Amino acid sequence: MYKFICILVVLLVFTACGSSRPVVRTTKPTAQSTKTDPRKTKRPVATTTPTTPSSTKPVPTAPTPVATPQTDQSKTEVLEATTAVKVTTAMVLEYIEKYKDIAKKEMVDYGIPASITLGQGILESGSGTGPLSVQANNHFGIKCHKEWKGPSVSYDDDAVGECFRKYSDPYESFKDHSIFLVTRERYANLFRLDIADYKGWAKGLKAAGYATDPAYPTKLIGLIERYQLQRFDAEVLGTSATPTTISSNPSLSNKGEATTAKQHVVVKGDTLYSISKKYSIPVAVLQSKNNLKDTALAIGQILRIE
**Mean pLDDT, residues 222-244:** 85
Give the dihedral of Cα atoms 224, 187, 109, 105; nearest 10 deg. Answer: 20
Q: Quick check: 115 pLDDT over 90?
A: yes
Q: Return the half-sphere exposure (C-beta side, CA atoms, 13 A cut-off) of residue 50.
A: 3
Residue 44, C-beta contacts closer than 8 angstroms, at least 6 positions apart: none
Residue 197, C-beta contacts closer than 8 angstroms, at least 6 positions apart: 113
The pLDDT score that the predictor gives to residue 172 is 96
**Mean pLDDT, residues 205-226:** 92
Q: Quick check: 267 pLDDT over 50?
A: yes
Q: pLDDT (tens digit, 9 = 90+) per residue, 1-41?
A: 666 666 766 666 555 555 444 433 434 444 444 444 444 44
Task: Say which residue, 6 or 196, is predicted with more confidence.
Answer: 196
Residue 202, C-beta contacts closer than 8 angstroms, at least 6 positions apart: 116, 119, 216, 217, 220, 221, 224
Percent of residues, the chain, with pLDDT higher than 70: 64
The pLDDT score that the predictor gives to residue 300 is 61
What letters, b where the CB count within 10 A reaches 16 and e where it falls short, cover 137-158?
bbbbbbbbeeeeeeebbebebe
Mean of pLDDT over the chain:
74
Q: pLDDT (tens digit, 9 = 90+) per residue, 90-102?
A: 999 999 999 999 9
The separation between CA 4 and the C-alpha centre of its own chain, rounded to angstroms, equals: 127
Q: Quick check: 250 pLDDT over 80?
A: no
